[in-house]
Chains A and B, each alone.
Chain A
Amino acid sequence: MTDAQKKDSLLKSMVAEPDDIHIVFADDGEFQAASGFVPSPLHASKELLHSAIGFRFGAGRYRYRGLDTRSFSFRMNGIKMNRLFDQQIPWNDWGGLNESTSNQHIVAGVGEEGFENIGINNHVHTEATSIRPQRSISLVTGNRAYGNRFSFVLAKGFNKKQWASAVHISGRKGGEQILDAGFFNSISYLLSLQKKWKAIDMNITMVGSVVHRNTTPAITQEYRLLGGRKTNPYWGWQQGMKRNVGIYFVHQPKVILSAQFSPTEDIHIQSAIMYSQGLQYTTGFDWYRAADPRADYYRYLPSYQTDSLLQQQVQQLIVSNPQILQIDWERMYQMNSHNPFTLRGVTGNRAKYILESRNRYTKQCFISTQLQQQITATDSWKIGIDMSREFVQLNKRVHDLLGADYYVNWNQFATNNIPDNKAIQNDLNDPDRILYTGDIFGYDYQLYLQEIVGTASWITRKQKLDIHVGGTVNFTEYRRIGNMRNGLFPGNSFGTSPPISFLNGGIKFGFTYKRSGKQYFLWNLLFLSRAPLVQHAFVSPRVNSLLHPALNNEKIFQLEAGWIHNSSKLRLRMNAYMFHKYDGIDLLSFYHDEYQSLVSYALSNLHQMHMGIEASLIHTINPSLTIELVALVGNYRFKTTQQYATYIDNETAAGDKGTVFIKNFKVPGTPQRAFSMGLTYKPGKWWANLAVNYLGDYWLDFNPLRRTYAAGQLQAQTKTNWIFPQEKLPDIVYTDLFIGTSLYLIKKKKQAPVLLFLSVNNCFNNLFYNGGYEQMRLGVNHVGDNKFPTKYFMAPGINYSLTTRFNL
């Protein structure tokens, strides 16, 4: 490689860092049409569309085509990383390892080969030789949540004995830059060892990341206006230090053993097995016969006061003593140390308040094998099987007694004074258990999850036409094992539940008409059914094994068409899509402080329709100046009313049932419209990219109980107009700037390149919310407003990071 090429490739590798980058450049090479055969379109990873979704629109939480998170997949060295528990991608588990996980390619949709997930599919390769050979140290400073990062990568290609290895160590640290009392500590590691032996290429990778950070609050507008942009209700002063109640911890290391084998030139087999085990927890308060300790509890804010003078007094007091908006740790310690109580022969101060950890222990064993064969010059097929088993244990532990001597395994909300009341017992197998730090309490259950997925696809690439067809079969099984016999549900809380299983499948068909090397037309059709998530299958898994009342598979139909035009000056891509999801179910679980219980709303009969147009354009004005435009316009709606049923963890009586009148409501949780305009300037020694992004039509997660018959009556009675309508977030506009360059340090006549990369997000410090949800309670206050207003997530203001990389 020439120096210039080296520089370029280094720059690109830097650019491909998820927390730094925004864009992956389109390949500059032009296809040479030869012998009438038109090559198939560029790989999706080079698509401006998808890089824009990933990096430009990320700050506004844009989701590709409005699909739910389970529609997105991530594979590392061929093995799927999505948890079975919630089908989410555990991004944290390799966070901070940007340099070694930058070798990825992206497939949007189920793809031509195989049968991938319907959203965006990331494939990352961390085999020792997949990591660019380097010996580098990166230092990142900035004012983001994890503003500072240190990283060391040592990767070597194959040696003479066909061994290769790579090591990556990274540490991240952050503080209060984004949020008051925020903190972020993380250590990440990756080790890879690869050996090529005849036709077999084997690799073992161990990857993990320990993350210890604050949890992110959603706050009401009122609270933000009182406390400011960085305000955070989760902390309070304790002996002169800011103490955060919300701690998030995760460490879920993985070992992946993978092999690639090509017995003949036409056959390619890729196999991998992953074992992983780890712990994730978040902390929060639990309390027994004491006032709600949360600082942003609605009764503690000025708006709760019906009297204008009292409202003023509260407001003034908060302005002069901002700590009133924060947690009062010392008060809790005081109460906890003055509550003597004797139980089961133990005398001491029984805790009124504790910090609890909500834990999830996960063990996974995933196996994957893919076989691809080129049958003829034009035809190939691919089959694959993924077998995944996951064991998840969920429970609560006493994290900190906050100055008390013990706590008791009681359910305060099941309390009433009937003598010998068993309902109060969280565990009848060990009633009145005295709890000390680290003890399990509240709930404790395990989930055994199993998934077997088989896929098959066939593709033929003719002169002017590519045709692909494929299918998938999916067997899913869930089982719950309760470790406690709950006093309210003694019959169905303890022991193993009967397994529930689901059989699903899908087929796809599509073609690409290759008019020329510059023009392509695409058309794809998909039918698919999916099992409900285990998270939705059990309505109150904490206390019983009751199943969702409408436990069925959801059905998906998708049709898309696309047009691609490439020329030396212009790259244009347009897609149109229509997506239907029938028979969906959902489960919303949350703490209901009127019932004083965790409550679940089981929703059924979800029918969603998503349609839209995607367009991107890259225009090369001159070799050093490019303009990029992206437009994503969608319309995602619910097409029918839904049914709801309420389940209350602390009551045995059946809850409410009814209809949710949300026909034609917008699908919430993602902007439905996104535009971006960018300019890239590459004069040679350095490059810069400036992009203005707009996101709109972003509807908030809504409370189904605000769209019931009763809610409609309440709206009429109170002569209000806000209960039924859906809430839209204000439109979001922000500007991002990226600048990169490289320098050379002369060291013993050798040139050691140093790369500098500056990224500035939200350059004009725009104030915007990038998410939020309606509270699950409904109440009209004395002035006719929402007693339980929407909570929002605040996006950071202007923020930057500066990366310096030394290639040693």
Chain B
Amino acid sequence: MKNYWIFLVLILGGCSKNFEPPPPFNGTDAKATISIKEMRNAHIPGAFGKWAGDDIITGIVIANDASNNFYKSIVIQDSTGGITIKLDGFSIANDYPLNQRVFIRLNGLWLSEYGGMLQLGAGIDTSNPQYTDLLPIPVPLFSRYILKGSIEPAPTPIHVNFDQLKDSLQSRLIQIDSVELAAADTAKPFADAINKATVSHTIRLCGIGTVYLRTSGFADFAAIKTPRGNGSIKGIYTVFDTQKQIQIRDTGDVQMKGLRCSGVRLIFYEDFETIPVNTGLQISGWKNIAENGSAIFEGKWNAPNRYAEITAFATYQPVVNSWLILPPINLNNSTNEQLSFITKDAFDNGANLQAYISSNYDGGNSPSKAKWTPLKATIAKGSVNGLATKWTPSGPISLQGYSGKVYIAFKYEGADIADLLLKKTTRFQLDEIKIVGN
């Protein structure tokens, strides 16, 4: 039955035209005549200025309405500055995706500020004399004023501090590091998705300075909760009168998983200072398991410091797998948890020490039955001829994304065989295991 219809459609298709898909679009060969900075500088603050002269600026699209946080506008920047262009359409991100190079023919367009923010539009609305407004470019005129180039690599944001925020950064992609949302603004929706209302959250650098994270209630991500941690934010720098704002393109622009400046709590700490030395580690709640071979973690002392140590050396066993597992840690009463520890290696010939985390380990003697996820830690290595002189810090390891009871483990993998190429007996020392959180 179905085939019959396809057959008929084909017969008729024979007498209807076949349409060739158009070739890929290669972009215009237009050239910019002035920079965005030059254009901005030509504007008289407070005035409505119609551009006269066949000038062209070019820039890369750094924001659009793809997630509906930017409404009827795109933001472009070149190496000298950025500008917001008002466009009277919906889903314009399809026409002007991120990283699209565009060329703007300025002749006939208008420049004016909105709350101190310089914008480019197609006309002015004087119907209300109290409040003159810039009109967006109508859809049918897009192609008259905006030419498209090719898609280019994403531009790197400008890294700035609070005190560097100034008007010349308007409509540019900036990044501010080591900041966090004010405590009252954490874990709150980015904006009011129900009433479609814009919300501004306060961003601070350890209690100093303020910039507002401004999000539209129409943004697709409005209902998503803001992060609790400390980290970096990138977005478009905007102003409203004296208020300095940053507007993100998507939640990926906010990377705040780190430890907040204040309210740091110690969740777990072990410095091995009270353990007996030169014997297998035995701490209440810990597991010290030689899964293959006979090597176990031992307590050691190198005045005045005590620490844990393991090596496959002198076990004469081809497979050495050993685990040191911390007591279960409850992550339910804290946020932004970070693990850190320090290691030293000696006579490194390729054995491996790796930190893992598991949510389903049962606390028994067969840890390999559980699912362990490796943690990204820096571990000492390369001390071929003797003991490393300095401890290697692991770096902060975020435990975000884990909750409830988790286990942290250190797994040693080595081999003690005659073949020097396959012999792996590196000695590792481990100390200062610490978990902190807010």
A residues at B contact (CB < 8 Å): 183, 185, 210, 212, 238-239, 241, 243, 249, 251, 279, 289-292, 299-301, 304-307, 309-310, 313-314, 317-318, 324, 329-331, 333-335, 337-339, 352, 402-403, 416-418, 438, 782
Instruction: Kindly identify, within residues 121 to 180 of chain B, every residue whose CB is under 8 Å from any CB belonging to chain A.
Output: 122-125, 127, 135, 138-141, 144, 151
A-B contact count (CB 8 A): 103
Look across to chain A and name the residue whose beta carbon is closest to the beta carbon of B151. A338
Whether A249 lies near B12 (C-beta < 8 A) is: yes
Residues of A within 8 A of B144 (CB): 313, 317
Residues of B within 8 A of A183 (CB): 16
Q: Taking A290-B91, A331-B95 as given, write out 9 further A-B residue pairs in contact, using a Cβ cutoff of 8 Å, ordered by the A residue number.
A: A185-B16, A210-B11, A241-B19, A306-B125, A310-B141, A334-B22, A335-B95, A402-B21, A418-B223
Whether B138 lies near A334 (C-beta < 8 A) is: no
State which of A251, A305, A333 has its C-beta within 8 Å of the C-beta of B138: A305
Whether A417 lies near B221 (C-beta < 8 A) is: yes
Residues of B within 8 A of A338 (CB): 97, 151
State which of B21, B127, B220 has its C-beta within 8 Å of the C-beta of A333: B21
Q: Does B240 contact A (CB under 8 A)?
A: no
Q: Does B310 contact A (CB under 8 A)?
A: no
Residues of B within 8 A of A782 (CB): 127
Residues of A within 8 A of B97 (CB): 338
Whether A300 lies near B140 (C-beta < 8 A) is: yes
Bound complex: CA A403 to CA B24 (Å): 10
Whether A279 lies near B138 (C-beta < 8 A) is: no
Whether A309 lies near B123 (C-beta < 8 A) is: yes
Residues of A within 8 A of B151 (CB): 338
State which of B90, B135, B220 has its C-beta within 8 Å of the C-beta of A417: B220
Q: Does B15 contact A (CB under 8 A)?
A: yes
Residues of A within 8 A of B220 (CB): 417
Q: Does B193 contact A (CB under 8 A)?
A: yes
A322 → chain B closest CB, angstroms: 12
Residues of A within 8 A of B221 (CB): 417
B436 → chain A closest CB, angstroms: 30
Instruction: Kindly identify, within residues 87 to 108 of chain B, every residue whose CB is under 8 Å from any CB belonging to chain A.
Output: 88-92, 94-95, 97, 108
Residues of B within 8 A of A329 (CB): 19, 22
Whether B138 lies near A314 (C-beta < 8 A) is: yes
Whether B25 lies near A310 (C-beta < 8 A) is: no
State which of A212, A279, A352, A438 has its C-beta within 8 Å of the C-beta of B16: A212
B132 → chain A closest CB, angstroms: 12
Whether A185 lies near B12 (C-beta < 8 A) is: yes
Whether B123 lies near A307 (C-beta < 8 A) is: yes
Residues of A within 8 A of B6 (CB): 438
Residues of A within 8 A of B125 (CB): 306-307
Residues of B within 8 A of A418 (CB): 223
Residues of B within 8 A of A243 (CB): 17, 19
| Interface secondary structure of A, over-half rule | mixed
| Interface secondary structure of B, over-half rule | loop
Q: Does B222 contact A (CB under 8 A)?
A: yes
Whether A238 lies near B223 (C-beta < 8 A) is: no
Closest A-B pairs by Cβ, 6 of them? A330-B22, A239-B20, A335-B94, A291-B91, A212-B12, A290-B91
Whether B92 lies near A291 (C-beta < 8 A) is: yes
Residues of A within 8 A of B47 (CB): none
Bound complex: CA A330 to CA B25 (Å): 9
Whether A314 lies near B141 (C-beta < 8 A) is: yes
Residues of B within 8 A of A290 (CB): 91, 94
Residues of A within 8 A of B9 (CB): 249
B12 → chain A closest CB, angstroms: 5
Q: Does B8 contact A (CB under 8 A)?
A: yes
B residues at A contact (CB < 8 Å): 5-6, 8-9, 11-12, 15-17, 19-22, 24-25, 88-92, 94-95, 97, 108, 122-125, 127, 135, 138-141, 144, 151, 193, 220-224
Residues of A within 8 A of B90 (CB): 291-292
A132 → chain B closest CB, angstroms: 31
Residues of B within 8 A of A292 (CB): 90
Bound complex: CA A790 to CA B165 (Å): 53
Residue among B12, B20, B125, B193 with max Cβ neighbours from chain A (10 Å): B12
State which of A249, A307, A352 has its C-beta within 8 Å of the C-beta of B94: A352
Whether B91 lies near A289 (C-beta < 8 A) is: yes
Look across to chain B and name the residue whose beta carbon is closest to the beta carbon of A401. B21
State which of B19, B25, B124, B141 has its C-beta within 8 Å of the C-beta of A317: B141
Bound complex: CA A429 to CA B299 (Å): 60
Look across to chain B and name the residue whose beta carbon is closest to the beta carbon of A237. B22
Residues of A within 8 A of B19 (CB): 238-239, 241, 243, 329
Residue among A291, A304, A318, A782 with max Cβ neighbours from chain B (10 Å): A291
- Sampled A-B contacts (5; CB under 8 Å): A185-B15, A210-B12, A291-B94, A310-B141, A416-B193
A592 → chain B closest CB, angstroms: 16
A259 → chain B closest CB, angstroms: 29
Residues of A within 8 A of B8 (CB): 210, 251, 279
Residues of B within 8 A of A334 (CB): 22, 24-25
Look across to chain A and name the residue whose beta carbon is closest to the beta carbon of B139. A300
Whether B141 lies near A417 (C-beta < 8 A) is: no
Bound complex: CA A306 to CA B136 (Å): 11
Residues of B within 8 A of A249 (CB): 9, 12
Residues of B within 8 A of A212 (CB): 12, 15-16
Whether B12 lies near A306 (C-beta < 8 A) is: no
Bound complex: CA A289 to CA B15 (Å): 34
Whether B140 lies near A324 (C-beta < 8 A) is: yes
Residues of A within 8 A of B89 (CB): 291, 299
Look across to chain A and name the residue whose beta carbon is closest to the beta carbon of B148. A334
Known: A210-B12, A238-B20. A291 touches B139 (CB 8 A): yes
Known: A241-B17, A417-B223. A337 touches B24 (CB 8 A): yes
Bound complex: CA A215 to CA B105 (Å): 39
Look across to chain B and name the residue whose beta carbon is closest to the beta carbon of A299. B139
Known: A185-B15, A300-B140. A417 touches B193 (CB 8 A): yes
State which of B22, B92, B223 has its C-beta within 8 Å of the C-beta of A239: B22
Residues of A within 8 A of B139 (CB): 291, 299-300
A264 → chain B closest CB, angstroms: 45
Bound complex: CA A299 to CA B88 (Å): 9
Whether B223 lies near A318 (C-beta < 8 A) is: no
Look across to chain B and name the residue whose beta carbon is closest to the beta carbon of A359. B5
State which of A306, A309, A318, A402 has its C-beta within 8 Å of the C-beta of B140: A318
Bound complex: CA A734 to CA B337 (Å): 85
Bound complex: CA A573 to CA B92 (Å): 64
Residues of B within 8 A of A337 (CB): 24
A334 → chain B closest CB, angstroms: 5
Residues of B within 8 A of A402 (CB): 21
Look across to chain B and name the residue whose beta carbon is closest to the beta carbon of A324. B140
Whether A310 lies near B224 (C-beta < 8 A) is: no
Look across to chain A and name the residue whose beta carbon is closest to the beta carbon of B14. A185
Residues of A within 8 A of B193 (CB): 416-417
Residue among B5, B124, B151, B224 with max Cβ neighbours from chain A (10 Å): B5
Bound complex: CA A236 to CA B141 (Å): 18
Look across to chain B and name the residue whose beta carbon is closest to the beta carbon of A292. B90
